[in-house]
Amino acid sequence: MSNDIELLVNAITALKPVSNWVKDYLNPIMFSFLSAVFGATLATWGVRYSGKKKELYEIEKKKIDAANFWILQASECFDNLITIKRNYSDRDLRKSIDTINIPSILLDFPRVNVDMTNLIFLAREEKLVKKSKIERKTNGFGEIHIIRSMMTNYNIVLDRWEKRNQIVQPLVENIVRNNSSTGGPTQVSIEQIEKSVDAVNLRQSIHLSETVVEETDELLTEFHKFLTEFPKIAEIKICKKVQKKYGPVLKVIQKKEAEELVSKKSIT
């Protein structure tokens, strides 16, 4: 009987699980620790990814702002040049001396600050990748020095118009006064004009007038091309998703009158 009880006790004892400290104690601790580490890592990565994504978005926004700033700046310069050309677009300037009959032009136009550091994104990977078809067909307006040169020339032309006004206005007044003409210097002969004013001043005035008229025509053509082509270049340099969300690169549509004045050469 005692043997039977002993066998029964041994059988029950055999059914009890063997204690394993690794399984029972270490594994739960390690699992909790690894879960905490993984969670913290995931959270940190999420914050960093979100921050990086926001940073890249802000960079693309600044590109759009910079591109639109220079498009609007160029549009203003273009309009100012059109205003200047309206003063003489209907005049016959086939003879050089006729250019001094262009009236003095009020030039209340600000000069352009040619600091273009905000356009540095145009130069991105310029030496590493081939230019796109659009960039190859856009007169170099994807290069900062080309744009800076255009804006610098605009400032120079405004300065030359002012200098021309200072030289020509007293010259014309002298011609009119000496010849008792009320219609301007075109109503007197070249011989009378040459007798009325100093020959050196006359030649200087004619040369400066011709030069600034031709330069104005050339700049109008250049600004017109810039306003047509630069937005296309800017678009391919800026993330399209950001353009859709934040706002597009501006496009300027010129009026018919402006188009006609650009195509019309003042001196032929």
Per-residue b or e along 111-136, where b marks 16 or more CB atoms closer than 10 Å to that residue's CB: ebeeebeebebbeeeeeeeeeeeebe
CA dihedral (198, 199, 205, 206) positive or negative: positive
Kindly report, residue by residue over 148-190, the tens digit of the pLDDT: 999 999 999 999 999 999 988 888 777 777 776 445 545 667 7
- What is the mean predicted confidence (pLDDT) over 120-138? 58
pLDDT for res 126: 46
Contact (Cβ atoms closer than 8 angstroms) between residue 227 and residue 78: yes
Say whether 106 sits in a helix, a strand or coil. Answer: coil
- CA distances (Å), 159 to each of 9, 38, 105, 163, 221, in order? 114, 67, 12, 6, 19
Distance CA(160)–CA(167), nearest Å, equals 10
Q: What percent of the chain has pLDDT over 90?
A: 42
**In which band, very low, low, confident or very high, does the pLDDT at 127 lie, cut at 50, 70 and 90?**
very low
Give the end-to-end CA distance of the chain in Å, rounded to a whole number: 135
Kindly report, residue by residue over 205-260, the tens digit of the pLDDT: 889 999 999 999 999 999 999 999 999 999 999 999 999 999 999 999 888 888 99
pTM of the model: 0.75
